[in-house]
Structures are given as structure tokens and as C-alpha cells.
Amino acid sequence: MLIFAFIACLLQAVLCQMAGGWSDVEDTNSENFQKIVSFATNEISVQLGSSNKKQAIEILSGRQQVVAGMKYKIVMRIGETDCKVDENDKDCNLKIWWRDSQVFSCCMGQSMVE
């Protein structure tokens, strides 16, 4: 009976990692997740046609889904810097940019306002 319970728990752990289900990002401060956040803020800058780069101010939540790769839903506050989009990285002053009524979703070249 104990072996059956162990196998059932192991099977459940494996199934949780299979494609399809959304789960919370465990560490939104990890280097990998911060690279994703940086990519997303750069995409937002480009897709909004902004002349200035955007920067994440605060990560409110992060969810991930295993698909053929990894899919992310990130809710964050972003701000606009004084760095131009076409400039190389440097120290930038940040201005807060926040819209309570709109959520921007960037999906590899597509922008959607909900």
C-alpha cells in the first residue's frame, strides 16, 4: 500500500509538469525570468511605437505553461526611461508608466490590448 501511495504521488508530480496546465513562476527574481521580463518590456516598447525604452518596475505576478517550449503570463508595472529605443544600454532615468484599465499582452510579434 505504501508503494502504491508513493507511485501515485510520483505520477501526480510528473503530470503537473506536462503540457497544458498553468502554474505560478516560483522565483520571479531568477536570472532566466528577468531575461524574459526584459525581452517583454523591449517588445512592448517596439510594439507601442515608443521612442523611449520601457523598464519593469514591479512584477505583480508570473504564470507559466509548458507547451512546445514555455509560455508566460506576466503582470507587471512598467515605466518609461529617458533612453531611446535605438540606443545601446546605459544608465537611464525611469518615469512611471501605468494604466489601470489596460493590459498589454505581447506574444512574439503580436500586440493585443484587452
* Cell output for 62: 508570473
- Residue of 92, 21, 91, 110 whose CA lies nearest to 63: 21
* Cell output for 99: 494604466
Average pLDDT over residues 98-102: 43
Q: Is the pTM of this model over 0.85?
A: no
Q: What is the pLDDT of residues 65-80, one digit of tens each?
A: 988 888 888 888 888 8
CATH numbers and ranges of domains, the chain: 19-108 (3.10.450.10)
Alpha-carbon distance of 86 to 79, in angstroms, equals 17
